[in-house]
Structure 1
Amino acid sequence: MTDGKRTPWVVGVSGASGTPYAAAVIRGLLAAGESVDLVVSRASRLTLLDETGIAFRDAHWRDDLAAWLERGADGKPATFARPELDDVRHWSAGDLAAGPSSGSYPVKGMLIVPASTACVAGVALGLSKDLLQRVASVTLKERRRLVVAVRETPLNGQTLKHLVALDEAGAVVLPASPAFYAGATHIQDLVDFVAGRVLDAAGVPHRLYRRWEGELGGASRPREASGD
């Protein structure tokens, strides 16, 4: 049940490499004052364990998420301040009766970060084999914003067809492709660029990266602290 006022963004995390992207997006949403409903797939928990050493557990999701969000792209803890998670709600990936599985549950949209090719295929084909895919299907049928940050290379023809199908269905297909004009000096800067582009596609304000202003040499100028 919802209180009639809370309208979150659903963040779905699939099994592709790139859990730092998801952490940066969640931090960005919370910094913007947005509510978050989180769905972490079973496959992504193995990736998260490998990339950060964190075992994400349904029964202890709040502590595990806090530890995850404290880590930077290098996997080191305490890179970021411990976040406030009062407006984060977690749904188990196997809970097909969860709130976001229904179109009547109010959400602003869904961000799949990162999106594996298996996840892309499942959403494009409407398989709904777990809660992540089901919420994506609901997001499309309700004509809400769906951003799919696909993280794979190279892409085969079948995956390209699935991505075209998602685009035609109204999703934003956003490859996790960092740019370098923003003056990256650390791996976290590259992660934040992709996370910022995801938030741009969702219409959520942030200061995760330096925007292009039509002037060469901008990357060499000192960057103001973002506070995110």
Structure 2
Amino acid sequence: MTERKRTPWVVGVSGASGTPYAAAVLRGLLAAGESVDLVVSRASRLTLLDETGIAFRDAHWREDLGEWLERGADGKPASFARPDLAGVRYWGAGDLAAGPSSGSYPVKGMLIVPASTACVAGVALGLSKDLLQRVASVTLKERRRLVVCVRETPLNGQTLKHLVALDEAGAVVLPASPAFYAGATHIQDLVDFVAGRVLDAAGVPHRLYRRWEGELGSSRPPEASGG
């Protein structure tokens, strides 16, 4: 019997604020038994350092990734159990000869979480200035699923045009816009809602949020009984 070919999801992390979204998506993919190819842009390392205190290093990426995925949206360590990272492969953002830079490299698709406006512009214009943008361009040309979780507000006209261009090219434009009907009681719940919608767009099963079932008020906790 031949070994089943590894077919990962590529997760690209750009420099926008919102590294907890990326962590939640990564945890969700790994919990679902998916393989992951990870690309962390140079700009996103500064954001990650600012939002978590973690310095993401190429030579120690597995250790740094494990620490990152243990942290919740509040930045506190050990909020989550460290997942098994055996299914993760890391590619440096400057490595334009990396596997996912070619359409012949088998992947299921790409999730950009979060996507900065600079990243959106680069992908929409086909610039391929780094590996993240190159993989996104390859994903589009190969007609694979591309989910762009844009994290910016407000949006100017030029960015809106770029997002329309991505939609017309076949990408799923998914703003990091949490909803409240799922009964959020913590910042992590809002983060998990957005991450869950990203996984929904990719067709990956998860239990990150409570789905709408058509009953008004179902997200509210029961009223405390009076004494």
- TM-score bracket, normalised by the shorter chain, equals over 0.9
Q: Is the CA contact (8 Å cut-off) linking 2:126 and 2:133 kept in structure 1?
A: yes
- Match of 1:170, SS? coil
- Match of 1:180, SS? coil
- Match of 1:214, SS? coil
Q: Report the alpha carbon displacement of residue 163 of structure 1 after superposing the two structures with TM.
A: 0.1
Q: Report the alpha carbon displacement of residue 83 of structure 1 after superposing the two structures with TM.
A: 1.0
Q: Is the CA contact (8 Å cut-off) linking 1:207 and 1:226 kept in structure 2?
A: no
Give the RMSD, CA atoms, in angstroms: 4.5
Cα 1:138–1:226, aligned 2, differ >3 Å: closer, same or farther? farther
Percent identity reads 93
- Match of 2:196, SS? helix
Cα 1:187–1:225, aligned 2, differ >3 Å: closer, same or farther? farther
Q: Report the alpha carbon displacement of residue 22 of structure 1 after superposing the two structures with TM.
A: 0.1
Q: Is the CA contact (8 Å cut-off) linking 1:208 and 1:226 kept in structure 2?
A: no
Q: Is the CA contact (8 Å cut-off) linking 2:181 and 2:219 kept in structure 1?
A: no
1:3-48 alpha-carbon deviations (Å, 9 max, x no partner): 7610000000000000000000000000000000000000000000
Q: Is the CA contact (8 Å cut-off) linking 2:49 and 2:55 kept in structure 1?
A: yes
Pair member with larger Rg: 2
Partners of 2:4 and 2:47 lie apart in 1 by: 35
1:109-156 alpha-carbon deviations (Å, 9 max, x no partner): 000000000000000000000000000000000000000000000000
Q: Report the alpha carbon displacement of residue 82 of structure 1 after superposing the two structures with TM.
A: 1.1
Partners of 2:116 and 2:98 lie apart in 1 by: 22
Cα 1:117–1:224, aligned 2, differ >3 Å: closer, same or farther? farther
Partners of 1:12 and 1:227 lie apart in 2 by: 50
Equivalent residue pairs, number: 227
1:71-118 alpha-carbon deviations (Å, 9 max, x no partner): 000000000001100000000000000000000000000000000000
Partners of 2:168 and 2:194 lie apart in 1 by: 22
TM-score, with length taken from structure 1: 0.95
Q: Is the CA contact (8 Å cut-off) linking 1:41 and 1:132 kept in structure 2?
A: yes
Cα 1:196–1:30, aligned 2, differ >3 Å: closer, same or farther? same
